[in-house]
């Protein structure tokens, strides 16, 4: 029987280490975060478990101690002159209130680092339950802390919904109008992210929204790429012409008054796309375009951070793709928000027509409420 310090990249991994080492007899003595590493002190020692239980009992008896303190202070009032009695009572009240504030601050700190394994007996009216539930739903602690103002003072369910709405407001893109009004739209992303399908869906969406057939597909592919074949198939189905970007006149596009919409499909990997976009920007500084990053659902937080770091100069609107294959989890939403990404579109079906949904505060909040049911 011993006490041991476990270190891991996140709380879940640390708890798994504790369980593997100590099993059901484990008791968590403390948790903290040190230079980005989660540290959990745990033990299966009978003595350590006994001391931990005594500490919990001390915190549970806080209200009793407080009432005893109040009684002692009031008892002392009888020995004071009448003219100073009121001032003395106020001073003592302030002293007690300060102790209460300090104790509450300490409890807040303890709760913020606590991993709750059993919610039995905890009142739903406790506002601190909201961050605990959000953590259990896999929202990242850093984001919960950033948006804590949205749920403080509310019960757990109202607090969760308020958090969802604030997060949705943070994630919602303001670029939808820009995309609709743009003559040139760049669609890029990692290989297999659904760029060509997204290009076809956006073409159909804009055709309906603007009542136009004046739409071109522009194929931006590297040597040996087969993605252009997919785009050509969509071109035949939708009846929109396709051309290679090598034959696209960027200068004429800027000066002409035609109303054609050009949708550029950047096939290949992300590095190829970013290099091509950089070349176009450098060669044609006045060329205006709206950029969209195709991000497949199911992407992990590290992948999202890497993507956001890579595209920081382009700052595209994000389109969540492949929702029919995998849902967007709390970790993804957290990472997107922490990396200041903005979601403009979501899509999750093989159907091309009427398959794009504008992402806004209401639609994202609705998605979270329907898919995160609480624990």
320 and 188: one domain? yes
In whole numbers, what is the pLDDT of the chain averaged over residues? 82
**Residues 29 and 177 occupy one common structural domain:** no
Residue 60 binned pLDDT confidence (cut-offs 50, 70, 90): low
Same domain assignment for residues 200 and 341 = yes
On whether residue 292 sits in a domain, the answer given is: yes
Q: Which residue has the higher pLDDT, 326 or 120?
A: 326
H helical segments located in the chain? 11-22, 46-60, 62-77, 82-112, 129-136, 141-146, 156-171, 176-181, 195-210, 227-238, 250-255, 270-283, 301-310, 330-338, 361-371
At 75, the pLDDT band (50, 70, 90 cuts) reads low
Q: Which of 141-155, 210-224, 288-302 has the lowest mean pLDDT?
A: 210-224
What CATH number is attached to the domain comprising 283? Answer: 3.40.50.300
Same domain, 43 and 177: no
Give domain status of residue 5, yes or no: yes
Instruction: Give kind and range of the element (H or E) at residue 344.
Output: strand 343-346
- Residue at 182 is within a domain: yes
- Give domain status of residue 17, yes or no: yes
With a pLDDT cut of 70, the percent of the chain lying above it is 80
* Residue 39 contacts residue 7 (beta carbons within 8 Å): yes
pLDDT score, position 88: 58
Same domain? For 345 and 219 the reply is yes
Give the tokens for residue 49: 């478990």
Cα radius of gyration rounded to whole Å, the chain: 29
Give a yes or no: residue 355 inside a domain: yes
Kindly report the pTM of this predicted structure.
0.66
Residue 133 token pair = 């539930």
Of the residues 21, 43, 60, the one at which a domain ends = 60
Q: Is the pLDDT of residue 229 over 90?
A: no
**Residue where a domain stops, chosen among 60, 84, 106:** 60
Tell me if 296 is assigned to some domain. Answer: yes
Task: Place 77 in a pLDDT band, splitting at 50, 70 and 90.
Answer: very low
Domains of the chain: total: 2
Check residue 8 and report its DSSP letter: E
Range of the structural domain that residue 333 is part of: 173-359
What is the spatial distance between Cα 11 and Cα 83, in angstroms, rounded to a whole number? 57
pLDDT digits (tens, 9 = 90+) for 167-182: 999 999 877 888 999 9
Q: What is the pLDDT of residue 267?
A: 86
Residues 217, 185: Cα–Cα separation, whole Å: 10
Percent of the chain with pLDDT over 90: 42
Tell me whether residue 221 is in a domain. Answer: yes
How many other CB atoms are there within 10 angstroms of residue 85's CB atom? 13
Give the model's pLDDT for residue 62: 56
Asked, for residue 199, whether it belongs to a domain, the answer is yes
| Domain end point (choices 45, 60, 75) | 60
């Amino acid at each position: 029987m011993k006490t041991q310090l476990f270190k891991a990249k996140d709380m879940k991994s640390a708890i798994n280490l504790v369980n593997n080492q100590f099993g059901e007899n484990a008791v968590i003595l403390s948790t903290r975060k040190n230079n980005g590493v989660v540290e959990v002190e745990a033990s299966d020692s009978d003595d350590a478990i006994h001391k931990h239980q005594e500490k919990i009992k001390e915190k549970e008896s806080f209200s009793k101690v407080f009432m005893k303190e109040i009684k002692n202070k009031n008892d002392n009032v009888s020995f004071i002159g009448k003219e100073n009695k009121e001032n003395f009572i106020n001073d003592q009240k302030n002293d007690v209130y300060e102790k209460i504030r300090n104790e509450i601050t300490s409890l807040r700190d303890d709760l913020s680092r606590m991993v709750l394994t059993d919610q039995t007996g905890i009142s739903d009216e406790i506002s601190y339950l909201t961050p605990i539930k959000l953590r259990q739903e896999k929202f990242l602690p850093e984001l919960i802390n950033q948006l804590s103002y949205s749920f403080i003072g509310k019960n757990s369910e109202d607090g969760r919904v308020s958090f969802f709405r604030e997060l949705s407001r943070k994630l919602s893109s303001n670029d939808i109008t820009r995309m609709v009004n743009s003559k040139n739209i760049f669609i890029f992303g990692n290989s297999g992210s659904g760029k060509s399908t997204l290009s076809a869906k956006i073409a159909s969406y804009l055709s309906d929204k603007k009542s136009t057939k004046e739409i071109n597909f522009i194929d931006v592919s590297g040597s040996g790429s087969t993605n252009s074949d997919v785009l050509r198939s969509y071109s035949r189905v939708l009846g929109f012409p396709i051309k290679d970007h090598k034959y696209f006149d960027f200068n004429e596009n800027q000066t002409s008054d035609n109303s054609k919409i050009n949708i550029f499909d950047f096939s290949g990997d992300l590095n190829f796309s970013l290099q091509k976009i950089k070349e176009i920007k450098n060669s044609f500084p006045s060329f205006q375009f709206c950029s969209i990053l195709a991000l497949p659902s199911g992407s992990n937080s590290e992948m999202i951070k890497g993507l956001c770091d890579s595209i920081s100069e382009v700052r595209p609107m994000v389109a969540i793709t492949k929702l029919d294959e995998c849902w967007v989890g709390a970790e993804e939403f957290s990472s997107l928000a922490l990396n200041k990404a903005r979601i403009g579109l979501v899509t999750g079906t093989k159907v091309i027509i009427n398959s794009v949904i504008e992402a806004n505060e209401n639609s994202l909040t609705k998605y979270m409420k329907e898919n995160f049911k609480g624990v």
